[in-house]
């Protein structure tokens, strides 16, 4: 998922889809690239699970998967929580050992 | 930042650093790769802003940057919030136009 989000065009597509579902041609319109290039980016986004699409007649409609987006967010949130806890432990340690703070 | 997080070894380093600062050799120990390979991953993480490092004597200590981590999380959170709002609008629309729901 992070690889899928690493490309600015794909982040643009995700941003557009966060405002609601869109057809492939709607997604392609603002992008300065060929339709095959857009389809390839969509393929990467679909493989990552971030985007789902369904075809009705000749129109393929794409939408974001909130669960996949949530799990990418959760991974980062967990690391941030771990970091906050480790900074808290350091703060507690320094409060209990003021002589260490002077040395650093 | 998402490109930096796209690699499993680099996510492993971020996970380790979320439990507190670590030296380069501590980071390298659990990884099945050469020290130059570890240094290259650290370089990518530092360039992305997610990791900072400082050298004291012969030891380089690495730590996560909570602000950078927070901004990656915020980007995804904003997209999720946008998506939730667009689903709310759809729900409101369908509630006001029950005949549309039957058609979909």
User: Is the pLDDT reported for residue B102 higher than 80?
Assistant: no
Contacts of A100 (CB under 8 A, 6+ apart): A93, A94
Averaged pLDDT, A36-43: 96
Segment A57-100, tens digit of pLDDT: 999 999 999 999 999 999 999 999 999 888 888 778 888 887 76
pTM beyond cutoff 0.95: no
pLDDT category of residue A102 using cuts at 50, 70 and 90: low
User: Dihedral of the CA atoms A38, A40, A41, A45 (nearest 10)?
Assistant: 130
Q: Is the CB of B88 inside 8 Å of chain A's CB atoms?
A: no
User: Is the pLDDT reported for residue A35 higher than 60?
Assistant: yes
Least confident range from A100-104, B21-25, B71-75, B76-80: namely A100-104
Which residue did the predictor score with more confidence, B99 or A58? A58
Interface residue of A4, A50, A70, A79 to substitute, partner B, most B CBs within 10 Å: A79
Contact between B48 and B4 (Cβ < 8 Å): yes
Q: Is the CB of B54 inside 8 Å of chain A's CB atoms?
A: no
Segment B14-30, tens digit of pLDDT: 999 999 999 999 999 99
User: Is the pLDDT reported for residue A25 higher than 80?
Assistant: yes
| CA atoms in the 13 A half-sphere facing the CB of B4 | 21
DSSP letter for A52, please. Answer: E
| CA atoms in the 13 A half-sphere facing the CB of A64 | 32
Supply φ then ψ for residue A57, to 5 degrees.
Answer: 60, -125
Supply φ then ψ for residue A23, to 5 degrees.
Answer: -80, 165
The strand ranges marked E within B1-104 are 22-23, 51-56, 59-64
Cβ atoms within 10 Å, residue A26: 14
């Amino acid at each position: 998922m992070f690889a899928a989000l690493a490309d600015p065009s794909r982040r643009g597509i995700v941003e557009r889809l966060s405002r609601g579902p869109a057809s492939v041609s709607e997604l392609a319109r603002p992008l300065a690239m060929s339709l095959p290039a857009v389809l390839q980016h969509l393929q990467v986004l679909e493989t990552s699970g971030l985007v789902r699409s369904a075809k009705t007649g000749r129109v393929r409609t794409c939408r974001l998967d909130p669960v996949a987006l949530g799990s990418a967010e959760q991974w980062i949130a967990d690391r941030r929580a771990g970091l906050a806890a480790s900074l808290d432990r350091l703060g507690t340690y320094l409060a209990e050992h003021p002589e260490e703070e002077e040395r650093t």
